[in-house]
Structure 1
Amino acid sequence: MKTEMSSVDIKYIVEELQSLVGARIDKVYHDGNILRVKLHKAGEGRKDLLIQAGKRVHLTTYIKESPSPSSFAMLLRKHLSGRFLDGIEQYDFDRIVKLKVGEYTLIAELFKRGNVVLIDGESKILGALRYEEFKDRAIKPGHEYKLPPARESPVDVEWERFKELLLEEEVEVVRALARKFNMGGLFAEEILLRAGIEKTRTAKELSEEELKLIFEKMKEVFSAPKKAQIVYKDGELFDVLPIELKQYESLEKKYFETFSEALDEYFGKITVDEAKKELTKRLEDKKRSLLHTLKRQEEMMKGFEAQAEKNQALGDLIYANFMLVENLLSEFKKAVEKLGWDEFKRRIEEGKKAGNKVAMMVKGVNPKDKAVTIELNGQKITLYLDRSIGENAELYYEKAKKAKHKLEGAKEAYKKTLKKIQEVEKLIEEELKKEINVKKLERRKKKWFEKFRWFISSEGFLVIGGKDATTNEMVVKKYMSENDWYCHADVYGAPHVVIKEGKKASEKTLFEACQFAVSMSKAWSRGVFSEDAYYADPSQVTKQAPSGEYLGKGAFMVYGKRNWMHGLPLKLAVGIVKYEDEELPMCGPVDAVKAHTNRYIVIRPGRLKKSELVKKLKHILEKWGYKVSEEDLMAILPPGNGDVEEIRE
């Protein structure tokens, strides 16, 4: 079962993670040997990049509750939060990933024990997950960070160099490939399988044509189209790969759109299983101990039951053969009194040799206890010569009684142990039902307009607005058409708002869109309660700046007559609305939300931090039976603090 990513895996994931370039780093979380970098990508929203030292790097939806930030997390937040990811690359086909953030570089070492190191522009170490010192380098603050010696890349190597490197080795060709090109045994075997060459042969015994074929198949493997997958063996997780492998043809597979999704599902499942095991480890240990006790008690009960049955049967046997046993007792007693025990024993032995029936019945003589053991109907019975036949029988009945008493005690103890096991099993079940500290973010596929600020007007028109310079630019240049209306608040930094097919709408939708424009502007964070806005024809909106001026990204000019609306209230509502057969959390003007749902929460600018407001809204919506993530609520709310003014149920 795979436990860490290979250099090949890292090649493919780094290619895929290029989509993160330009994302803003929000926060960095640290727990054990795992870092999670929370990013925001314009137009796409939240992304979580997970780095596990010595193991893996990929986007994740499995979020572990983080403890109080460590000193390393605080160091990373200080230097990286608010900055943008400028680049991500693999170092020389090695298990090293470098993330460029301004003048800083975050280096993820995914080999051996692994590490994560932050360096400045001069390669000086600012901090690390773990400080270490080796023969040839030291991971300590202030020291220069030294990368390991460069490894040959199977992707870039030329034919002559490839041949030269392989022929240097005296080992099997599979080991030579894995060692010289840092690809690992799995991919070395795959290349040789495709080439049809036995992996145990040495490179030097191969012909040039065979070496050439290996070279070609290596290039084929490392240029193969991506087909992210999890491989299962006997129904269990076995491997996770970016491409198809011939050696796995017969195994079950599950395919994914991205390699990150495959890695996340594979390692996330392992993480959750480990967390569950840890959660119940103490209880499982207790259950094992109780099961061991239960087994001992079962054996004891069987023993007591056998003793009771045996002794009861022996007592009954004595009475069933009353006359015979009584005569034997009398004869044995007289013989011992007359001859003594030694002579009695000698006479018994002589009688056995002579075939005497009574002597043949005797199986043992015990002078100390004044007892003779006989065999009767295949059962051995010890008779005490100083006791009557009734007293001898009673001895066995008494033993049976004691065994039965012990059996009852053992049964009670057994029941108690069984009850304890059931209680522990119930506790295990309850623990497993608890929300473990690793949870999967269920990210539904969002509608195209959810990358913007949006709402559905009371008349059913879709209204969209920008969130930042990038999405403001998109709203106007890509999504606004001649059949729409354009709205804007008379506030610096307000979003561009567009009513789709707005020319068909009445003044009610225009009012709602303008109110939305002022509410989603910086006026909300300033805590004001009313502002002005206007609407205009799309033809009036242009990128053409006045002479001598320049319009930056997201900025537009509006020429001609503007239709003003004054004193618009900064007031919105949040509710769950049905749109295109899907329930969506929506934040818009009160009348718009009210038209689509009977339950909604009215909010105003206020003193409650946005994060706290989100928690409050989430709690109310959950009480109504809606499961909404804090991330989704955060995305639809206006910028700045607020308060709940009214709850309508």
Structure 2
Amino acid sequence: MAFDGITISALVKELEENLTDGRIAKIAQPESDELLLTVKTPGGQKRLYISASASLPLIYLTSDNKPSPMTAPGFCMLLRKHIGGGRITGISQPKLERIIHIDIEHLDELGDLCRKTLIVEIMGKHSNIIFCDDKGMIIDSIKHVSAQMSSVREVLPGRQYFIPDTMEKQDPLNTDLAGFSAALRDRPAPLGKAIYLSYTGVSPVAAEEVCCLAGLDSSMTAKDLSDDMMTHLYRQFCYYFEQVKHGSFTPAIYYSGSDPKDFSALPVSHYSAYRRQEFTSVSELLSTYYAVKNTMTRIRQKSADLRHVVQTALERSRKKYDLQLRQLRDTENRDKFKVYGELINTYGYNLSEDASELTALNYYTNETVTIPLDKNLTPQENAQKYFNKYNKQKRTYEALSGLIGDTADDIRYLESISNSLDIAQNEDDLLQIKEELTQAGYIRRKYTKKKVKIMSRPLHYVSQDGYHMYVGKNNLQNDELTFHFASGSDWWFHAKGAPGSHVIVKSGGDELPDRTFEEAGRLAAYYSKNRGSDKVEIDYVEKKHVKKPNGAKPGFVVYYTNYSLVIDSDISEIEEAD
């Protein structure tokens, strides 16, 4: 979800309620593009976090503090000089732009009352924090933008501040049917795209929601709509933005399983397939959403080296597997050479010395065959030549049959580690995967005096019927769960024919209800390579029937009797234990 004008509107409402009439007690600049304002209000002390980061621009209320540099940057010192101790008189949003104006009153050196405005622009890589006087003149900004950097607008001290209107978009809070129809029909783009290209602060998700409320396909063009359909779409558009006008926001994060897919300040009906978590404030929503996203991003970054090791080994094993298969196919006709040798020994007694071939009846098939001969060799030597060729290919076949099985096991094992990296949730999980790769010989062990303690633990869920379900996050945990933690009467689940986690359900000797079997099956589907599929085949069996072959790799098991079920991979209704 883009940090769109609707989200900004909800945030402005929240900031107005919490910060208006508050006094700015502290101003800090933890990073080169961040501000942290501490505001004393009648309701207590509040902290406002503002980031103009090109990759993740944000603004929200937070309870967390951040360490600041020993020497405050110039922009921070300027703000302390001008608005330190100032009173926030108002917070507003021009039209539905992704811009917030924070109006501040303060006393200057002579004791005169002055007004300044801190402008926060949340615009992706163009985000900025701009400090202006009461006439709209820029005093300074956290990022300077010169004419060489932008032909649209300079952001430099002494320049007049203005909002560039590069897209010529309209205000969605003030539009009529004629203007709405003309704006959409003038664009050849699909309906959803035409809406967000025509109106300020409207994201693709919001445009899709308007189309969904109207019961229209967003891929249609406005020219495909009749006047009645256009009127209906306009009414749904107005109904949707009526919520913004009246401040009727319901902030929520939408989850796909345990992963946050998106967030919105208004309900998103076309996200009905996702689990919805509501929040009382936009700030709480943003801090939760981006905390999870930041964790996931950090884990992906930290796992990059491990992924490279696994991917390199996978590519090498797959190439080796293909080569071995080709070599195995070359041995498919080995029995033919054995027959040739036998036929030469049987019929070669009357061959002339310079014969280049032998035509004889193959007594195995009752067919006549022609056997090429080397004129420089005797019939017995020709026969021995074919026997040698047969024996060589037979030895190759026997050796390759074992090697291909080993290579296939390597591929399955590496794919299982790749899946473990996909479901890793923290650095402890990555440490355990690294240890597994080290034990398997894919990473060279570094000997240090300090021993790293691995704290990673399996995932723990509770079924709706009260049964405890455990999910291994990697092969070492899978082995631990299956062969050390589970008892014989517990149930074991795994996605059929796909890399994935072992799921153990502690039965306590009870006969499990069908609903618990389904929930455990969903966990096995979700924590496998088939995550996201509507139909995943799951094998399940009592743990006592699961065996580990001698010398098998971690996570590898065999079973010769099992039940199967086909289930989706939605675990949104399954409760994770504390």
Structure-2-length-normalised TM-score: 0.53
Counterpart-to-counterpart distance in 1, 2:169 and 2:400: 74
Q: Work out the number of aligned pairs and report it.
A: 395
Q: Against the structure 1 CA distance between its residues 166 and 254, is the aligned structure 2 distance closer, same or farther, given a 3 Å change threshold?
A: same
Q: What is the DSSP-based 3-state SS (H/G/I as helix, E as strand, rest coil) of the residue aligned with 1:269? A: helix
CA distance in 1, matches of 2:344, 2:265: 87
Is residue 166 from structure 1 mapped to residue 188 from structure 2 by the alignment?
no
1:11 and 2:37 matched: no
How far 1:141 moved relative to its partner? 4.8
1:191 and 1:221 in contact (8 A); partners too: no
- Structure 2: which amino acid aligns with 1:361? V
Q: 2:200 aligned with 1:182, yes or no? A: yes
Query: Contact conserved, 1:290 with 1:421, CA < 8 A, in 2?
Result: no
Q: Flag the 1:124–1:176 CA change in 2: closer, same or farther, 3 A.
A: same
Q: Partner of 2:131 in structure 1?
A: 119
Name the counterpart of 1:107.
119
Match of 1:639 in 2: none
Contact 2:46 2:62 in 1 (8 A): no
Residue of 328, 332, 350 corresponding to 2:347: 328
Contact 1:151 1:182 in 2 (8 A): yes
Paired position in structure 2 for 1:545 = none
CA distance in 2, matches of 1:304, 1:215: 65
**Match 1:361 to one of 345, 362, 369:** 369
Kindly indicate whether the alpha-carbon contact (under 8 Å) linking 1:125 and 1:144 is maintained by their aligned counterparts in 2. no
- Counterpart residue identity of residue 387, structure 1: E
Q: Per-residue CA shift, 1:58-79, capped at 9, x if unaligned?
A: 336698988979x9x7233322
SS, match of residue 244 in structure 1: coil
State the partner residue of 2:161: 145
Of Structure 1 and Structure 2, the greater strand share is in 1
User: How many Å apart are 1:94 and its aligned residue?
Assistant: 0.7
Could you tell me whether the CA contact under 8 Å between 1:7 and 1:94 is conserved in 2?
Answer: yes
| Contact 2:101 2:118 (C-alpha < 8 Å) held by counterparts | yes
Q: Give the superposition deviation at 1:186.
A: 4.2
Hey, what's the Cα distance between the residues in 1 that align with 2:154 and 2:74?
Answer: 19
Q: Identify the residue that residue 227 of structure 1 maps to in structure 2.
A: 250
1:7–1:95 contact (8 Å) kept in structure 2: yes
Distance 2:385 2:237 in 1: 96
- Residue 255 of structure 1: CA displacement? 0.8
Relative to 1, partners in 2 of residues 1:26 and 1:252: Cα closer, same or farther, differing over 3 Å? same
Deviations 1:562-613 (A, max 9, x none): xxxxxxxxxxxxxxxxxxxxxxxxxxxxxxxxxxxxxxxxxxxxxxxxxxxx
Q: Write out aligned runs for 1:37-56 (5 A).
A: 37=36, 39=38, 41=40, 44-45=44-45, 47=47, 49-53=49-53, 56=57
- Name stretches of at least 5 consecutive residues in structure 2 with no aligned partner: 107-114, 432-578
Between 22-31 and 250-259, the greater mean CA deviation after superposition: 22-31
Of the three residues 197, 205, 210, the one matched with 2:227 is 205
How far 1:132 moved relative to its partner?
4.6
Give the Cα separation in 1 of the matches to 2:65 and 2:304. 19
Q: Is the alpha carbon distance of 1:385 and 1:126 closer, same or farther for their aligned partners in structure 2, counting shifts above 3 Å?
A: farther
Contact 2:214-2:236 within 8 A present in 1 as well: yes
Amino acid at match of 1:297: K
Contact between 2:10 and 2:247, CA under 8 Å: does it hold in 1? no
How far has the Cα of 1:12 moved from its partner? 0.8
Q: CA deviation at 1:276?
A: 1.1
- Written as runs of structure 1 = structure 2, the 5 A alignment for 1:415-426 is none
Pick the aligned partner of 1:98 from 85, 89, 101: 101
Q: Is the alpha carbon distance of 1:211 and 1:291 closer, same or farther for their aligned partners in structure 2, counting shifts above 3 Å?
A: closer
Describe the superposition over 1:459-507 as per-residue Cα deviations: whole angstroms up to 9, x where unpaired: xxxxxxxxxxxxxxxxxxxxxxxxxxxxxxxxxxxxxxxxxxxxxxxxx
Deviations 1:57-111 (A, max 9, x none): 3336698988979x9x723332235555624332232111233455654433223
CA contact 1:304–1:404 (8 Å) conserved in 2: no
| Cα separation, partners in 2 of 1:412 and 1:178, compared to 1, 3 Å | closer
Q: Match of 2:11, as an amino acid?
A: I
**Is 2:239 aligned against 1:217?**
yes
Selected match of 2:293 from 264, 267, 270: 270
Q: Compared with structure 1, are the counterparts of its residues 163 and 295 closer, same or farther at alpha carbon in structure 2 (3 Å cutoff)?
A: closer
- In the alignment, which of 275, 286, 306 is matched to residue 309 of structure 2? 286
Q: Distance in 2 between matches of 1:423 and 1:207?
A: 53
Question: 1: CA distance between counterparts of 2:68 and 2:429?
Answer: 18
Q: Which has the larger radius of gyration?
A: 1
Inter-partner Cα distance in structure 1 for 2:366 and 2:193: 83
Contact preservation (8 Å) 2:35, 2:51: yes
Once the two structures are TM-superposed, the CA of residue 17 in structure 1 deviates from its matched residue by 1.6
Residue 28 of structure 1 corresponds to 29
Between the aligned residues of both structures, percent identity stands at 14
**Post-superposition CA distance 1:42-71 (Å, at most 9, x none):** 6645635143556653336698988979x9
Q: Which amino acid in 2 is paired with 1:123?
A: M
Gap change, CA 1:126 and 1:206, over 3 Å in 2: same
Counterpart of 2:34 in structure 1: which amino acid?
L
* Alpha-carbon distance between aligned partners in 2 of 1:93 and 1:63, rounded to the nearest angstrom: 29
Q: 2:46 touches 2:61 (CA, 8 Å); kept in 1? A: no
Aligned ranges 1:499-648 → 2 under 5 Å: none
Change (3 A) 1:405 1:322: closer
Cα–Cα, structure 1 residues 75 and 105, in superposed 2: closer, same or farther, change >3 Å? farther
The alpha-carbon distance between structure 1 residues 396 and 66, as it changes in their structure 2 partners (threshold 3 A), is: farther
What is the aligned-residue RMSD (CA, Å)? 5.1
CA–CA distance in 2 between the matches of 1:64 and 1:268?
A: 15
Aligned to 1:532: none
How many angstroms apart in 1 are the aligned matches of 2:413 and 2:259? 33
Shift of residue 11, structure 1, vs aligned partner? 0.7
Verify the 8 A CA contact 1:119 1:126 in the aligned structure 2: yes
1:151-203 C-alpha deviation (Å, 9 max, x unpaired): 65444x3xxx6345335433378667545542425445545665678875569
The answer (yes or no) to whether the contact 1:62–1:264 under 8 Å persists in 2 is no
Distance 1:306 1:176 in 2: 57
Equivalent pair of 2:39/2:45 in contact (CA under 8 Å): yes
Partner of 1:640: none
Secondary structure of the residue aligned to 1:327 is helix
Mark the CA change 1:435 to 1:231 in structure 2 (over 3 Å): closer, same or farther.
same
Residues 163 and 211 of structure 1 are in contact (CA less than 8 Å); yes or no, is this contact kept in structure 2? no
Aligned partners of 1:210, 1:421: CA distance in 2, in Å?
Answer: 51
Deviation at 1:385, TM superposition (A): 4.1
Does structure 1 retain, via aligned residues, the 8 Å contact 2:310–2:418? yes
Match of 1:451 in 2: none
User: SS of 2:125's equivalent?
Assistant: coil
Instruction: Report deviation, 1:15.
Output: 0.9
Contact 1:50–1:59 (Cα < 8 Å) also in 2: yes
Write the letter of the residue equivalent to 2:19: L
Q: How many angstroms does 1:248 deviate by?
A: 4.3
Which AA in structure 1 matches 2:346? N
For the 8 Å contact 1:132–1:140, the answer to whether it is kept is yes
Does the 8 Å contact 2:307/2:421 carry over to 1?
A: no
Q: Which runs of 5+ in 1 are unaligned?
A: 372-383, 437-649
Deviations 1:213-256 (A, max 9, x none): 46752553322622111124577533312222444456531111
